[in-house]
Amino acid sequence: MDLIEFWEKSKETIDELVTKFVNEVKDWEILEMSKYIMKDGKRFRGTLVFLFNNGLGGEERDAYYGALATEILHSASLALDDIVDYDETRRGMKSAWAVYTNRRVIFASNFLIPTALNIISSYGKRALDISVDLWKDTAVGALKDMYGNKEEYFNTIELKTASLFKLPMMLAAFSSRQEAQLDNLMLAGKYLGVLYQLVDDYIDCVKLDKEELVGSARQLFELTDGKVDSFVKINYDRLKESYIKIVYSIPLQDEYKDLAIALPDFLALGLMAESRIKNKLF
């Protein structure tokens, strides 16, 4: 099975878990907003739970809660980001706040976030504590994204983006009962999340005018004086090398190790293809 096949299979399972979850929401208004907030996601982060759980010998069913909770938190974070950034579209549709108003989406997110953390608590107190800390990191990252300077670029994207890549990797350690691999898994998640955001910001720098750039994309542009190509290429290769080195230290089954090693280019090429810009990185 190649990585695309694994992702498609995992996405199908996660979509079923999400549908079951939202259909169990009792309040009709929260139900409708939850469905909207969580629909049509790519489920990459939830797929990470399955890939590393399975690779470490865990039962896939034991990773269901981790994958679901990851996707709930990620979807809620996107809904809140859209409010802060005044983004009116998400995944080719109107953003949740543009449909339901920002106040109602904030209330819905305030329902989804603790619900996800409650799901994570099934893996134990340590998993919950780490998840809370990672969620706090995303909040700090969001502030740095808005108000940080160019010197804070890598710290900004580690906090705002890599935190929600470290989360599924951490949950895979608990779902597979391989807590000894926790530090390595979270470090791999850090590298994967940072390189993912680096490519995402690169795309913005290429597609948008300088005056249109916001957040970490603006920081990247200012850090490189607009000469982003070589900077991003060098740092992408550096991060990818560090990620692969960590993956080799994790005792994954061979089939899953190959899938894990393919992840950086899979995610980056997906972003590039979606943006339809000329690929100068690979």
151 vs 81: CA distance, rounded Å: 22
User: Residue 109 domain-assigned?
Assistant: yes
pLDDT at residue 195 above 90? Answer: yes
d(CA 89, CA 74) in angstroms, rounded, equals 16
In a domain, residue 22? The reply is yes
User: pLDDT over 70 for what percent of the chain?
Assistant: 100
Q: Return all residues near 2 (Cβ < 8 A) that are at least 6 apart.
A: 259, 262
Are the C-beta atoms of 219 and 150 separated by less than 8 Å? yes
Reported as type and span, the H/E element at residue 89 is strand 89-90
> How would residue 278 be classed by pLDDT, with cut points 50, 70 and 90?
confident
- The string over 207-220, giving b where at least 16 C-beta atoms fall within 10 Å of a residue's C-beta and e elsewhere, is eeeeeebebbbbbb
Q: How far apart are CA 43 and CA 238, in angstroms?
A: 26
Torsion of CA 229, 86, 156, 107, to 10 degrees: -150
Cα Rg of the chain, angstroms: 18
pLDDT of res. 69: 99
* Number of domain units in the chain: 1
Q: Which residues have C-beta within 8 Å of that of residue 262, sequence separation ≥ 6?
A: 2, 3
Considering the domain boundaries, does residue 174 fall inside one?
yes
* pTM, rounded to two decimals: 0.95
**Residue 269 belongs to some domain of the structure:** yes
* Long-range CB contact pairs, 204-210, < 8 A, 24+: 206/275, 206/277, 207/275, 207/277
Residue 257: domain span: 3-275
pLDDT, tens only, 31-87: 899 999 998 899 999 999 999 999 999 999 999 999 999 999 999 999 998 898 778
Within-domain flag for 266: yes
User: What CATH code is carried by the domain that includes residue 80?
Assistant: 1.10.600.10
Residue 90 lies in a domain: yes
- 281 part of a folded domain: no
Q: Is the residue at 282 inside a domain? A: no
